[in-house]
C-alpha cells in the first residue's frame, strides 16, 4: 500500500506530498492543474525513463520518493530476496534526476537498475492509463483472472507445482542423456585405454622402483666389489678388523681392575665392535640382494618401457598418476551403467508426470469452462453499467501444451458494437474502454487475487450520469480489498472516495505558477463536487446534488 508520495523539483511542482488512505482515493482538479504531472512523477519510481526537461531548478536534482507498507505483500518480499535486497516493512523507493541527465534509483537506500526497479514496483503499483493495454495483453493476467472468478486458483497452484516438478525431472533426464551420448562417443577409445592399463596392472610406485632396481643391476659388479670388499675387511682377510677390535676389547677388560679409569674407553670400543659387526652383517645382506640375472633385467626393462610409454600417452610423470587414470576410467564405466539405470528411472517418472499433467490439465480446463458462462454474464452486465451497452465480452479457451497455468490458452475477446465479430480486447477497445474493462475484471476478482495499489487515470472518460455512478460504485467496492487511487472528472466518481485530493495551480511571490495538492475536508468536498457539476459558481441545486452524492 502506498503510504506517502513526495515530489520535489519536478516539472511545475516545487514540493508536493500526498498521503492516501487504504481505500478509495479520488483526485480532482481543473484541466491542466497538474494531475498528469503527478502521475508522470509517480511513473519515475515505477521505472520509467527520466528526462532532464522535467527539472524546474537546474541547480538542484529532482527527487521523487514513495513510501510503501509491504508487511503483507509476500510476492514483493520474495522478489526482494531474489534481487538480494534487504526487506523492511516500510519500503522506500527513491528516484533522483540530476541536471546533467544522470538518473539513479534506490530501494531502501540501495542503488538498483531500472529493470529491477520496474520488476519490483510492478508488485506495488498497478497503473492504468489511457491506451495502456499491458495488463490485458498479458496471458498470465487473463488466466489468473479466470481462475480467480472460477475458484480454480488453488488447483492452478497445485498444477504449477506438478509442472515445475515435471520440468525438473525432464531437465535431469536430458542432462543424463547428454552425458550418456558424450560417453558413447568416446566409449570404445576409453575402454581400450582402460584395458591397456588393466593388462599391465601397475602397483603403486612400481615404475620408479623398477628404474632404481635396473640402475642397480647395471652397476652390480662394482656394487658387489665395494660391498664385498668392505665386508671382507671387517670379517675375513688375514687379520679381520672385527677380530682385532674384539681382541683389543678383551685385553682392556683384563686390566680394568688395575686401571678402572679406562672403563669408558673399553665400553666405547665394545660398542664400536658391536656396531661394525652389525654393519658387516648388513653389508652381506645388501651384497646378496644384488643380482646379475639377465632375464630379470630384461623383465624389469620391459615393465619400465611399458610404464614410460603409458606415462607419455597420458601426459603424466608417475606410476601413481597412471593408477589414478585407471581408477577414473573404471569409475566412468561404472557411472555409465549408473546413468543407464537413472535414465530408465527418470524416463518412466517423466512419462508418468507428463500424463498426470495432461489429466490434471483437462480437469482444470473443465473447471474453467464451467466458470466461463457466469464470468461472461457478469462482465456483460457490468459493461452495460459502466457505459458500454453495445459491448459483448466472451472468453476463448483453446487447448495447448502444458504450461505452468495448465493446458489452456485463454484470450479475452470483445465485440464493441454488436457486430458479431469478436476480437482480442486490446484490439477492439479504446483507451477509455480498456480502463473500464479492467475495472470490471478487477472488481470481479478483488476478493481472490492479491493486487498492488491500483491507480486509474480518468477511467470515466466518455461517460456520465448513471454509468459514471456505477463506475464510482465499482471503484468503491474494489477499494474494500485493495488501495485504489482514481483521477477523475466525474462528480459521481469523486464523491465515492474515502479521501479526496484536489490538485490546483498557485502563483508564488515571484508570480511563477506551481502545482499543489491538498486533502479536502467534508465541506470542501461538497463545494468541489458542486463545481464539477455546475461550474465555478455552482447553484443551490448543484450544491444539494453534491451533498446527496457525498452523503451529507
The arrangement of strands across the sheet holding 392-403 comes to 392-403, 406-415, 423-424
Q: Which three cell numbers stand for residue 527?
A: 463545494
Q: Which three cell numbers stand for residue 420?
A: 458479431
Q: What is residue 16's three-state secondary structure?
A: strand
pLDDT digits (tens, 9 = 90+) for 261-285: 888 988 898 898 888 888 888 888 8
Q: Is the dihedral of CA 361, 364, 370, 376 positive or negative?
A: negative
Cell 581400450 sits on residue: 192
User: Residue 405 and residue 157: Cα distance in Å, rounded?
Assistant: 8
* Residue 456 β-bridge partners: 128, 486
The three-point CA angle 205-210-216 to 5° equals 130
pLDDT digits (tens, 9 = 90+) for 228-248: 777 777 878 777 888 888 888
pLDDT digits (tens, 9 = 90+) for 365-375: 999 999 999 99
Q: Cα–chain-centroid distance for residue 527?
A: 52
Q: What is residue 354's three-state secondary structure?
A: helix
In the 8-state DSSP scheme, what is residue 374? Answer: H
Q: Which residue has the higher pLDDT, 51 or 494?
A: 494
pLDDT-based confidence at residue 133 (cuts at 50, 70, 90)? very low
Angle between helices 220-235 and 263-289 in degrees, nearest 10: 150
Q: Which three cell numbers stand for residue 267?
A: 665400553
Query: Is the per-residue pLDDT at 177 higher than 50?
Result: yes
Contacts of 302 (CB under 8 A, 6+ apart): none
Q: What is the mean pLDDT of residues 4-10?
A: 91
**Radius of gyration of the CA atoms of the chain, in A:** 46
Percent of the chain with pLDDT over 70: 95
User: Residue 552 and residue 546: Cα distance in Å, rounded?
Assistant: 9
Contacts of 326 (CB under 8 A, 6+ apart): 194, 197, 198
Give burial (CB, 10 Å; 0-12/13-18/19+) of 437: buried
- pLDDT attached to residue 128: 66
Give burial (CB, 10 Å; 0-12/13-18/19+) of 115: exposed
User: Minimum mean pLDDT among 205-209, 220-224, 313-317: which range?
Assistant: 220-224
pLDDT digits (tens, 9 = 90+) for 505-538: 888 777 788 889 999 998 889 999 998 888 888 8
Please report the DSSP string for 384-453 in residue order. HHTT-TT-EEEEEEEEEEEETTEEEEEEEEEETTS-S--EEHHHHS-HHHHHHHHHHHHHHHTTTS---E
Half-sphere exposure at residue 286, Cβ-oriented, CA atoms within 13 angstroms: 19
Parallel/antiparallel/unpaired status of strands 110-112 and 499-507: unpaired
Long-range CB contact pairs, 152-155, < 8 A, 24+: 152/364, 152/367, 152/368, 152/371, 153/448, 153/449, 155/363, 155/364, 155/367
Task: Indicate the average pLDDT of the chain.
Answer: 86
Q: Which three cell numbers stand for residue 518?
A: 491538498
Q: Cα–chain-centroid distance for residue 92?
A: 22
Closest CA to 496 of 509, 513, 477, 482: 477
- pLDDT attached to residue 6: 94
**Around Cβ 449, how many Cβ atoms within 10 Å?**
18
- Say if CB 434 and CB 131 are below 8 A apart: yes
Q: CA–CA distance from 514 to each of 17, 26, 32 (Å)?
A: 13, 21, 11
Query: How many residues would you count in the chain?
Result: 552
- pLDDT attached to residue 183: 75
In the 8-state DSSP scheme, what is residue 521? Answer: P
* Residue 64 β-bridge partners: 7, 95
pLDDT-based confidence at residue 89 (cuts at 50, 70, 90)? very high
DSSP H or E segment with residue 28:
strand 24-29
Q: What is the mean pLDDT of residues 385-412?
A: 91
* Residue 395 β-bridge partners: 412
Query: Is the per-residue pLDDT at 417 higher than 60?
Result: yes
The arrangement of strands across the sheet holding 484-487 comes to 125-128, 453-457, 484-487, 24-29, 499-507, 513-519
Q: What is the mean pLDDT of residues 434-462?
A: 82
Query: Is the per-residue pLDDT at 130 higher than 60?
Result: no
Query: Is the per-residue pLDDT at 8 higher than 60?
Result: yes
- Say if CB 196 and CB 293 are below 8 A apart: no
Amino acid at each position: 500500500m502506498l503510504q506517502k508520495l513526495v515530489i520535489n523539483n519536478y516539472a511545475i511542482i516545487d514540493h508536493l506530498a500526498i498521503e492516501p488512505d487504504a481505500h478509495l482515493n479520488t483526485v480532482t482538479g481543473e484541466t491542466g492543474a497538474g494531475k498528469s504531472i503527478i502521475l508522470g512523477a509517480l511513473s519515475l519510481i515505477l521505472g520509467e525513463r527520466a528526462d532532464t526537461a522535467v527539472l524546474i531548478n537546474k541547480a538542484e536534482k529532482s527527487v521523487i520518493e514513495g513510501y510503501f507498507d509491504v508487511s503483507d505483500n509476500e510476492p514483493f518480499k520474495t522478489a526482494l530476496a531474489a534481487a538480494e535486497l534487504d526487506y523492511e516493512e516500510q519500503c522506500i523507493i527513491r528516484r533522483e534526476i540530476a541536471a546533467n541527465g544522470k538518473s539513479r534509483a534506490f530501494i531502501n537506500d540501495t542503488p538498483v537498475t531500472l529493470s529491477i526497479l520496474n520488476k519490483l514496483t510492478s508488485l506495488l503499483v498497478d497503473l492504468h492509463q489511457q491506451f495502456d493495454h499491458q495488463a490485458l495483453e498479458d496471458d498470465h493476467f487473463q488466466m489468473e483472472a479466470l481462475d480467480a472468478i472460477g475458484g480454480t486458483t488453488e488447483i492452478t497452484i497445485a498444477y504449477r507445482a506438478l509442472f515445475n516438478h515435471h520440468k525438473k525431472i525432464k531437465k535431469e533426464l536430458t542432462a543424463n542423456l547428454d552425458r550418456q551420448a558424450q560417453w558413447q562417443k568416446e566409449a570404445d577409445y576409453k575402454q581400450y585405454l582402460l584395458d591397456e592399463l588393466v593388462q599391465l596392472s601397475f602397483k603403486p610406485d612400481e615404475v620408479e622402483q623398477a628404474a632404481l632396481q635396473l640402475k642397480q643391476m647395471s652397476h652390480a659388479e662394482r656394487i658387489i666389489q665395494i660391498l664385498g670388499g668392505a665386508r671382507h675387511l671387517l670379517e675375513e682377510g688375514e687379520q679381520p678388523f672385527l677380530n682385532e677390535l674384539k681382541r683389543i676389547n678383551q685385553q682392556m677388560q683384563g686390566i680394568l681392575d688395575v686401571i678402572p679409569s679406562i672403563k669408558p674407553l673399553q665400553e666405547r670400543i665394545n660398542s664400536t665392535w658391536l656396531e661394525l659387526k652389525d654393519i658387516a652383517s648388513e653389508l652381506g645382506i645388501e651384497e646378496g640382494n644384488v643380482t646379475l640375472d639377465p632375464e630379470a633385467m630384461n623383465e624389469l626393462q620391459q615393465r619400465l618401457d611399458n610404464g614410460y610409454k603409458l606415462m607419455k600417452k597420458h601426459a603424466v610423470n608417475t606410476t601413481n598418476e597412471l593408477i589414478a587414470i585407471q581408477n577414473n576410467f573404471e569409475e566412468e564405466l561404472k557411472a555409465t551403467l549408473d546413468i543407464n539405470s537413472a535414465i530408465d528411472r527418470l524416463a518412466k517418472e517423466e512419462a508418468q508426470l507428463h500424463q498426470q499433467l495432461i489429466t490434471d490439465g483437462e480437469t482444470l480446463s473443465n473447471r474453467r469452462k464451467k466458470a466461463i458462462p457466469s464470468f461472461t454474464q457478469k462482465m456483460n452486465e457490468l459493461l452495460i453499467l459502466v457505459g458500454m451497452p453495445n459491448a459483448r465480452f466472451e472468453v476463448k479457451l483453446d487447448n495447448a501444451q502444458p504450461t505452468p497455468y495448465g493446458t489452456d490458452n485463454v484470450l479475452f475477446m470483445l465485440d464493441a458494437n454488436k457486430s458479431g465479430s469478436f476480437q482480442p480486447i486490446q484490439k477492439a477497445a479504446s483507451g477509455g474502454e480498456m480502463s473500464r474493462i479492467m475495472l470490471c475484471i478487477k472488481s470481479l476478482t478483488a476478493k481472490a487475487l492479491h493486487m498492488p495499489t491500483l491507480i486509474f487515470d480518468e477511467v470515466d472518460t466518455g461517460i456520465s450520469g448513471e454509468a459514471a455512478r456505477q463506475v464510482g460504485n465499482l471503484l468503491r467496492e474494489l477499494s474494500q480489498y485493495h488501495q485504489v487511487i482514481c483521477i477523475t472528472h466525474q462528480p459521481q466518481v469523486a464523491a465515492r472516495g474515502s479521501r479526496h485530493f484536489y490538485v490546483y495551480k498557485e502563483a508564488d511571490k515571484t508570480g511563477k505558477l506551481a502545482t499543489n495538492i491538498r486533502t479536502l475536508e467534508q465541506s470542501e468536498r461538497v463545494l468541489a463536487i458542486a463545481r464539477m457539476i455546475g461550474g465555478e459558481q455552482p447553484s443551490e441545486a448543484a450544491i444539494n446534488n453534491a451533498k446527496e452524492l457525498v452523503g451529507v
